[in-house]
């Protein structure tokens, strides 16, 4: 009888703990809004060093597509807490926006030769965002930039 009571208490405790709402209010997403008439390629680089003058295209990350006049939700990924947790270990995020058609032409024509892409695919806009920037922008990055 005592074992049944202990088992019931453990089950009730387990259910109660699992039913607790998530108290984590960190932002798991931010949005990139493409208000332009062209499709874009966006590469997001989580940087651990500050290089404010550099535009660093990372050959190991294939940029994702953001269609014309649409939005894309960027998830914090493997970081459990959200973007606030990500920014505890980095100074900023770098977002590189390129025209999709030009990027894909060089991507296929030159068999993804990184040096060729770095040299000939123009970056339309480079965002270098700190946590405070994303918060000020209400977690929404707009292209073309709104002045």
Map out the domains of the chain as residue ranges: 24-143
Q: Is the pLDDT of residue 66 over 80?
A: yes
Residue 147: Cβ-neighbour burial (10 angstroms; 0-12, 13-18, 19+): exposed
Quick check: 117 pLDDT over 80? yes
The confidence score (pLDDT) of residue 67 equals: 97
Q: pTM for the full model?
A: 0.78
- CA separation for the pair 64, 47 (Å, rounded): 18
- Tell me the chain's radius of gyration from C-alpha atoms: 21
The backbone torsions φ and ψ at residue 135, rounded to the nearest 5 degrees and listed phi first, read -65, -45
Q: Residue 79: is its pLDDT beyond 90? A: no
Is residue 40 predicted with pLDDT exceeding 60?
Answer: yes
H helix runs in 96-137, sequence order: 100-109, 114-120, 131-136
What is residue 4's predicted lDDT score, i.e. its pLDDT? 73
């Amino acid at each position: 009888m005592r074992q049944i009571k202990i088992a019931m208490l453990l089950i009730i405790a387990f259910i109660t703990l699992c039913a607790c709402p998530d108290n984590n209010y960190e932002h798991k997403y931010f949005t990139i809004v493409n208000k332009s008439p062209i499709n874009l390629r966006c590469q997001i680089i989580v940087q651990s060093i500050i290089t404010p003058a550099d535009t660093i295209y990372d050959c190991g990350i294939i940029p994702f597509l953001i269609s014309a006049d649409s939005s894309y939700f960027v998830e914090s990924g493997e970081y459990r807490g959200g973007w606030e947790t990500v920014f505890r270990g980095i100074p900023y995020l770098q977002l590189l926006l390129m025209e999709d058609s030009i990027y894909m032409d060089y991507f296929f024509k030159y068999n993804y030769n990184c040096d060729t892409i770095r040299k000939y695919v123009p970056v339309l806009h480079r965002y270098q965002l700190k946590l405070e920037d994303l918060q000020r922008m209400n977690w929404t990055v707009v292209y073309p930039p709104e002045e």
